[in-house]
Chains A and B, each alone.
Chain A
Amino acid sequence: MVYYVTDLLLLGCINSIMVVGLNLQYGYTGLLNFAYYTYVAIGAYVAAVTTMGRTAMLGGGTYILGWTLPWYVGLLIGGVVAAILGAVVFGFTVRRLRSDYLAIVTVSAAFIFWNIINTYEPLFNGATGLYNVPNIISTSTARYTLVMLALSAGILAVCVWASRRIFRSPFGRLLRSMREDEAVTSAFGRTSWQPQLWIFMIGCFIAGIAGGLFVFSITAWSPYAFLPLESFILLAALIVGGAGNYWGALLGAFVLIEGLAELSRFLPSFGGGADVGAIRAIVIGVVLILMLRYRRGGLIPERWLHWYGQPTKQVLPKARFAAVRRAR
């Protein structure tokens, strides 16, 4: 039973890392990135192909690279590649579009990316995916889970620390002001897209690292592991937990993703087992809508200092509809 719990904690930590990264993009800066899980997948794939060499899958399967770098190098490269890809995507899209149209573009991009990876086998072995990804240290299964848990928890702590630093820094204030009203920010002479680019890249880097941790934990990755739906679930977790607040991110990850998914395994399976999964998804949808409606800050709303210096409960202020293109 203990191993099951440590397994759950490990997955919870990895999901938390992802949601913390998404929080940087959406919670702090208001950039809606519906393709977040794609960056996780890139981090996973790159970490895998830079560390598994050519022989791990016993010669069956085609994929690029196939190096045998140490795991930490592979992990970092995965994060960096994800960040670079994020920068490219950002440069093309985020600068130009209002949030909801950006959402459509990013979802479309996620679908395209998934389609290419699934169909074009020489890239990452197509629909079958990669398996037998090497462990980071060779030890018994039980200890390995604990090792990964310690590593993930450590990285999570670093990410949370970074989030906190960013939040309290002038950089963070700038991001929040841009989130609220971009026109005013530009009027004050702050170029808007550079800080956004930085935060976007940091968020994607974190996603890539999470992906690498994921692939080293479960030793396999395939297109089925990153269906475009997953990004929605991360976003739902963030919103329900509390966007703009890393505690909210943690809560959302553990409660919505881990808790809901894993606790439902203990429910009696009535009818077909598929019903449990469907009910779970319905619960997520309903909770999301209710949270948006009645407590838009989430379970743990962000608190930020009004520029007069007084704390305020107000979270995300109302804004009227704007044109598709951002105001410049």
Chain B
Amino acid sequence: MFVRFVRGRRHATGVAVGIGTVAALVLAACSSSKPTASSTSSPASTSAAAATSASASGGVSPVASAASAGSSSAAASGSLAPAPSQAATGSAIKLGLLAPLTGARADLGQGMQTGAKIALSVINATGGVLGHHVNLDVQDDAADPADAVPAAQKEIQADHVVGIVGPISQTASVVWPIAAKANIPDLMWGGGSAFDNITDPHFFRLSPSDTEQADAMVVYAHSKGWNHVAIAIGNTSGDQSLVPGLQDAAKALGMTVDKPVTIAVGATSFRSEIQTLFSTHPQAVLGQFDIPSAGVLFGELKQQGLLSTPWVASNLWFAKEFVTSVGGATASGPIYIANPGAENQGYQPFLNVLQQQTGSNQPSNGQTYIYDGVNVWALGAQIAGTTDSPAIEQGIAKAANGPGQNCYDYSTCLQLLKTGKAINYQGAASSVDFDKFHNVYGPFDILHFNADGTSSSLTELTPQQIQQTLTNG
């Protein structure tokens, strides 16, 4: 049927002309709508007053909201939220979430989504953000940069989100520039060292860089006198990005560090890895690899009587799954976990909300970070009085860093703000303090498991202490 349309050489030319016409049309459409495009990023700016009817101004077109109301999880979050104590009036605004719901990191996406939903349920129940109900626009990026770009573009261009929470390191490097160019904040989560030195004000990172995590681990090992260490690292990107930090910090402190040994995800035994790790008789092992592999490896260590060698690990192992995987007896051995955030006083309120909304009190990996991200964004908007840049970014920084009174959950913080006080939000995952590159860099707790799965904090390393040790040592 199609073959009959054009014949001979004109065919290919026809194709080219056709495509060229389309491109030209698009170009024409684009240049004429450019002013509108840039204003889609400025949502309905409102005054601090609770009620507003300015729904048609700015880019928050009711049509777009209505059309894509289905694409958000408004219905779902509505069913989770308790009856609102103060009704949010005014048009709804959208907060975007980019998460790997499918693909290689699908194990994280669901938890991230739930974390955002439960945070928003509290926010919407207490009046929303500046009187606007906040809908969550979840898009799947499949941890694939090729999918992340259209996902981000849809959220920004089609759904007109006022901010983006997520994604994870795998795709954040393509997403945050898109958000920055659209003039909205992006609060990502992940440790990749690629994000250590970003000066763009739209960018925020909700977890400490792997470099900082590595610094904390090395400084702690050094403080215990373990100056000959081995490194055991998984083979995912989150694990691999820890290595340069470990090596650099160890070098700065004059420690001897062995070549990293790879702990491959899904491998069924680690005999040879153990042999390599312990062949030089290190005083401690620094490591990060997935928890199922930890279960296998520690079981093998137990057989060989090698459990007396201390381990200093990243906060990947600060999870109930670790205790169940390696067993309570092993977990309460000399395993020390460097976890960002002092005491995590925001953790208990988070657990309460989680229990209330979902009936579970076992958080998934990443849930706390996204929960904090949504909260700190909402608080930032309340402080700034708008969701527009650059005020929103300044507001976020103020909400997270203070100076102000510490508060540990959204409702309390909101109350303080309403009475005119300044706040300093302390989150569930960390104390949520941004450094000058908008990376979370708070103190690190050194945690130790008890046999029953609870944990206790042995000591705390502040950023100043860590930096001082590294420069002096």
Interface residues of A (CB under 8 A from B): 1-9, 11, 57-58, 60-61, 118-119, 121, 126-129, 131-132, 140-142, 146, 149-150, 153-154, 156-157, 160-161, 164, 214, 217-222, 224-225, 227, 247, 261-262, 265-269, 272-274, 276-278, 300, 303
Contacts and interface: CB of A to CB of B under 8 A. Distances in A.
A132 B173 contact: yes
B149 interface: yes
B26 A9 contact: yes
Nearest to A58: B197
Interface of B: 1-3, 11-12, 15-16, 19-20, 22-23, 26-27, 29-30, 33-34, 37, 68, 70-73, 75-76, 99, 101-106, 109-110, 113, 138-140, 142-151, 153-154, 156-158, 169-171, 173-174, 177-178, 181, 192-194, 196-197, 235-237, 240-241, 244, 262, 264
Contacts of B16: 153-154, 157, 161
B158 A1 contact: yes
B102 A164 contact: no
A161 B14 CA distance: 10
Contact of A222 (B11, B101, B170): B170
The 9 closest A-B pairs by CB, nearest first: A277-B102, A127-B237, A161-B12, A268-B70, A4-B157, A131-B173, A157-B16, A153-B19, A273-B101
Most central of B37, B113, B156, B174 by chain A CB within 10 Å: B174
Given A150-B23, A218-B146, A276 B140 contact: yes
- What's the dominant secondary structure at chain B's contact region? helix
Contact of A128 (B101, B113, B237): B237
A262 B140 contact: no
A299 B218 CA distance: 60
Nearest to B170: A224
A87 B103 CA distance: 31
A156 B11 CA distance: 14
Nearest to B169: A128
9 contacts: A57-B194, A131-B174, A161-B12, A219-B177, A222-B237, A265-B71, A265-B139, A272-B110, A277-B103
Contacts of A58: 194, 197
A128 B192 contact: yes
Nearest to B1: A300
* Residue among A121, A156, A268, A269 with max Cβ neighbours from chain B (10 Å): A269
Contact of A4 (B29, B101, B153): B153
Given A127-B235, A141-B181, A4 B150 contact: yes
A303 B136 CA distance: 49
A319 B68 CA distance: 50
A269 B23 contact: no
B210 to A, nearest CB: 10
A119 B113 CA distance: 30
Contact of A273 (B75, B138, B196, B241): B138
B194 A277 contact: no
Given A4-B154, A7-B149, A222-B170, 17 more contacts: A4-B156, A60-B194, A119-B264, A131-B194, A149-B23, A161-B15, A217-B149, A225-B144, A227-B103, A261-B147, A268-B75, A269-B72, A273-B110, A274-B106, A274-B109, A274-B140, A303-B3
A149 B237 contact: no
Contacts of B138: 269, 273
B37 A218 contact: no
Nearest to B34: A142
Contacts, number: 184
Contacts of A6: 26, 30
A1 B102 CA distance: 25
Contacts of B264: 119
A265 B151 contact: yes
A2 B145 contact: no
A278 B102 contact: yes
B235 A277 contact: no
Given A119-B262, A227-B103, A273 B23 contact: no
A9 B30 contact: no
B12 A126 contact: no
Contacts of A128: 169, 192, 194, 237, 240-241
Contacts of B236: 127
Contacts of A2: 26, 29-30, 33, 37, 157
B170 A126 contact: no
B22 A221 contact: no
Contacts of A225: 144-146
A274 B113 CA distance: 10
A265 B101 CA distance: 12
A11 B150 contact: yes
A142 B157 contact: no
Most buried by B among A58, A146, A150, A218: A218
A277 B71 contact: no
B145 A227 contact: no
B109 A273 contact: yes
B113 A273 contact: yes
A7 B30 CA distance: 12
Contacts of B26: 2, 5-6, 9, 146, 149
Contacts of B169: 128
A217 B174 CA distance: 10
Nearest to B235: A119
B79 to A, nearest CB: 12
A182 to B, nearest CB: 27
Contacts of B150: 4, 7-8, 11, 261-262, 265
B71 A266 contact: yes
A269 B158 CA distance: 16
B99 A273 contact: yes
Contacts of A146: 23, 26-27, 30
Contacts of B99: 273
B252 to A, nearest CB: 17
Contacts of B3: 247, 303
A311 B352 CA distance: 72
A157 B153 contact: no
Contacts of B30: 2-3, 6, 142, 146
A221 B145 contact: yes
A146 B23 CA distance: 8
Contacts of A272: 101, 110, 113
B110 to A, nearest CB: 5
Contacts of B139: 265, 273
Nearest to B114: A272
Contacts of A61: 194
Contacts of A300: 1-2
Contacts of B181: 140-141
A11 B1 CA distance: 26
A210 to B, nearest CB: 11
B23 to A, nearest CB: 5
Contact of A126 (B104, B142, B177, B240): B240
Contacts of B1: 300
Contacts of A276: 101, 140
Contacts of B156: 4
Contact of B104 (A218, A224, A277): A224
A269 B106 contact: no
Contacts of A150: 20, 23
B15 to A, nearest CB: 5
